[in-house]
Structure 1
Amino acid sequence: MTSTTRLTVPADSLFGLTNLPYGVYSAPGRRPRMATRYGDHVIDLAVLLDDDVFARPSLNAFMAQGHARWVEVRAEISERLRGRVPEEAVHGLGTVTLHLPFEVADYVDFYASEHHASNLGRLFRPDHPDPLMPNWKHLPVGYHGRAASVVVSGTDIVRPSGQRKGPKDPAPVFGPSTRLDIEAELGFVLGTGNAMGDSIGAEDAERHIFGVVLFNDWSARDIQAWEYVPLGPNLGKSFASTISPWVVPLLALDSARVPVPPQEPAVLPYLRMERPWGLDVDLTVAWNGQVVSRPPYSAMYWSPAQMLAHQTVGGAPSRTGDLFASGTVSGPEKEQRGAFIELTWGGREPVTVNGRRRTFLEDGDEVVLTATAPGADGTRIGFGEARGRITSSKRREA
């Protein structure tokens, strides 16, 4: 006879029944399997739901089952957790290891914050009358990143090395980055994709987007500055990106939907939506334990649906496990800037962290992203954390 238990979770928990994120965990001596988080309990979904698809080490097979199945499973998990659950399904959060929750099939990063893009325009093109490039309000600008360098929260980040050339340097030099930065973002996980030659319309995007993760796009600004003209970021971005271990279902974020800011000039037809929606997600950036920024995702100019529509409109295929990130989340106020290059204005305005004036990341520094959003029935839901600590470069010379 299977032993059962009834779980209780505080009413103000960020991981109550209105959240129910998906992740992958392993208990000591056991292989990784899918789970949900309920309070500080990690719930084995294969045991809870008696379904072998959840005994796998990634979410991909489940995500590929499609939107109707996501709705069905979410309701079933909620119903089961309201009653008695098998004791063997329940693990304490502190007793398990959390893994990368899905196999990242592909990765694209966007640049969807007008505040961030404008700040960088003022920094890099101070004499230009418009900080935004001419295309910025006509399409969601993005670049293709490296899926293989997406890592789960808690993974150390090795300081990258590469070429850099300052404005007064006679020639480029090679070495560890000296202007290592973060970008506080949200990442959107694709559950189902489109075939080559087809596309996903903006109004249909939410049936393809499975869920949302926290995303830190670590950035070597000195390497990036030398390499990015004319084709954009490469080594300055490709070395690591950190995501949170819990994927918050888009279905859990209905109460967090808000209108995007007015989009003027009018966008082209493939980007038009009857009600373009953003998300009221409040992010927090902690640097060595001190909160230094609180970026508001609600200020983002381009919606997640528009980003996906633009990404596929040319007929590029997408698939289960694709990840696209929002780009740095920044608001109109200084304390809402989601990258240190903005927060310190290119290093010219240091911030005080634990009594020291700081600009860019040093070895041993740790950055933690967290976030909350409105949930159903007046609750708030959490995203966990995206944590990374900088370790020294493995290469010193060319």
Structure 2
Amino acid sequence: MSTDNQQPTTDNHFETLAVRTQTERTQFDEHSTPLYLTSSFVFEDAEDMRASFADEKNKNLYSRFSNPNVTEFIDKIVKMEDAESGYAFATGMAAIYSTFAALLNSGDHIVSCQSVFGSTHTLFTKYFPKWNIETSYFKAEDEKNVEKYIQPNTKILYVETPTNPAIEILDLEFLAQIAKKHNLLFIVDNCFATPYLQQPIKYGADVVVHSATKLIDGQGRVLGGVAVGKADLIREIYLFARNTGPAISPFNAWVLSKSLETLAIRVEKHCENALKVAEFLENHPNVELVKYPFLKSHPSYEVAKKQMKLGGNIVAFEVKGGSEGGRNFLNKIKMCSLSANLGDTRTIVTHPASTTHSKLSGDERNEVGITPGLVRCSVGLENVEDIIGDLRQALD
């Protein structure tokens, strides 16, 4: 293989790492990494095969274990998050489930922020109890008292920040100190922020997970997930995934690796648009409440400014009229998309109470800040005046 493609150094900036971290060139000297659509790989002889399967050689064995496209994608995220190692998955939920399944044993206990993705909540409340794994929730506004939820068998402290969909902000530095004090693993879902806006490992996280389906892809094309963090923990996650099979496809990894090359410039524009949308909504008479991390009215504005580069692309707001008001708003939307996804080039509006979090009871939704009229807006890359114009006519 040609080895003249220069790899970035640790001194390079984020954008350079995203663009220049690349799989070694083949004999064809391609400038762009090709697709490696192969299920398996070959060996020179019996000894090469034996040594490879004994982990004595760093070789690709089978695409469920590793693949050049997958490795490139992982390497980029590892560098962006300042992690030691990583593993990529077919979906974000595969990353979350596999991380917990690999690191927990029967009888262990999780302490989690109450506001989490709906499927994560279902894992904690419906499936993990089958294996004698229990979860205690704390509210974001009660994070300073998180220690009272820790039990002798607590193994993991888990948070999303910003949270989905109420856009609450958790103090990563403070929670990492609590986790270290009690010898807990600190795991952070960094999906809403992306590695460009926030690196939880720098504040003390042990493992960071992403749904790459969202802003990392950024164009609503493919599914993917990734977990990065300390090498010994990722090794356990890798071994679990290697034997249970939630691996990402080489094609999806190739798409996501390409997407990372434009992550910084895309997210900058997403955030610029989102702040303008949030400011517009804050002054609209038919909106009761707006939650956006870089609005000064956000209760955790100072924490957000400390640990995030910009405020992200998600704006949550309460439409007057409760659940009926929220649904009426969506029915009047003309340009923006009605979808359960987020992080797309296209602006997306969602009514969580009747869609993404509909499986929760009314009391459970209220507990995590999902009020009947709450709308989640994933602000896209259209001209911001067009986005605001569509939101205005739907609200008016």
Of Structure 1 and Structure 2, the greater helix share is in 2
TM-score, normalising length from structure 2? Answer: 0.24
Of Structure 1 and Structure 2, the greater strand share is in 1
TM-score, normalising length from structure 1? Answer: 0.24
Greater relative CO (CA pairs within 8 A, separation 6+): 1
